[in-house]
Amino acid sequence: MLSGIPALGSPLDPLYRPVTRVLREHLGLMPSHITWASLVPSLLAALTIARGHVGAGLWLMALGQLLDAFDGAMARHYHLASPEGHRLDTLVDRLSEAAIFLGFAVGGFVSLKLVLCALLAIALLTTVVDRAGFDPGAKRMALYFGHWFTYPTLFTVIFGVNLTAYVISLLVLDCRFQLLMDRLGGDLDTIATRGALAEAAEEAVHR
């Protein structure tokens, strides 16, 4: 995946490098092109699953995830990571998940209500994951376990894990905020007052 801050790299990057080199140096593609391309097999996976062919749909989903890995590997290797690329990657990930999850609902494998709950939990976690740095990653990957567990069970797990991760992230952010307040020497109102007094004093000096 693309990152707004240059990533340290993935252990699988050396495996992806021959392909990313062809994509970048011979075809002239950018990471964003690969990101958008990864959406195509995901949409096809959603349509395939909606028609009742889960096995074929999961293979298409895997292809989309593989392409999604190539964009990050390319961005890291060629130093092309950017905040815009990260936002695009996140957007395409959420679109892919929404399409595939809805495909399971249309295909009758799980209720629409449970799918929407799972998507809501993922959306909530997405709003804080970059700041908290905590993401268990239990999204599309969980669907590969459909051979051993029912899909309602898997979607319940996706919902529960992402909602729990969202709550944990909020607690992490709150703890960081409280520690920051302690370092600054007071509560938010005190700090705001000090800031206002400092600004007023600076204006008085310049008069």
The least confident of 29-38, 113-122, 158-167 is: 29-38
Q: For residue 115, give both structure tokens.
A: 């799918």
Report the distance separating Cα 31 and Cα 23, nearest Å.
9
User: Which amino acid appears at position 135 of this protein?
Assistant: D
pLDDT on residue 197: 54
Fold of 1-108: Four Helix Bundle (Hemerythrin (Met), subunit A) (1.20.120)
Percent of the chain with pLDDT over 90: 50
Taking Cα atoms as reference points, which of 105, 118, 96, 100 lies closest to residue 47? 100
Taking Cα atoms as reference points, which of 150, 177, 163, 173 lies closest to residue 54? 150
Q: Which residue has the higher pLDDT, 106 or 10?
A: 106
Percent of the chain with pLDDT over 70: 83
pLDDT on residue 3: 37
Q: Average of pLDDT values for 54-64? A: 96
Decide if pLDDT at 199 tops 80: no
Query: For the chain, percent helix, then strand, then coil, each to nearest 5?
Result: 80, 0, 20
Domain boundaries, the chain: 1-108, 110-207
